[in-house]
Amino acid sequence: MPSYHQIIFCTFPDKEIAESIAHLLVNAHLAACINILPNITSVYRWQDQIKSTQEYILIIKARKTYYERIETFLKNHHPYELPEIIAVSIENGLPEYLRWIDSCHFIK
């Protein structure tokens, strides 16, 4: 069965930016639903140093056909030099929920 839906993960430095981006994406009909998880700790290597940062992560549910638009939007509005933007296919899901995702996508 082909996968038409995806989850996109993207981290942000604070709640205000995360909420603002989430509202903009849903308002633009690029995402059906976005969960914001607070207070995650990211440990990573950046410029040859190990960093540990408190962040917020967006879990964006959308159709795959919207990935490029969402990626461009995130890159253009993100405060990080290199934002985390990772998409994962939804292989299975409640059919009614997946149809709801479809119903939320229309570009004016």
Residue 53 has pLDDT above 70, yes or no: yes
Q: What are phi and psi of 101, to 5 degrees?
A: -55, -50
For 62-93, write each residue's pLDDT tens digit.
Answer: 999 999 999 999 999 999 999 999 999 999 99
For 22-49, write each residue's pLDDT tens digit.
Answer: 999 999 999 999 999 999 999 999 999 9
pLDDT band at 106 (very low <50, low <70, confident <90, very high): low
Domain positions in the chain are 8-103
To the question of domain 8-103 being in CATH 3.40.140.10, the answer is no
H runs (alpha helix) in the chain = 15-27, 67-77, 95-103
8 contacts 67 by C-beta, under 8 angstroms: yes
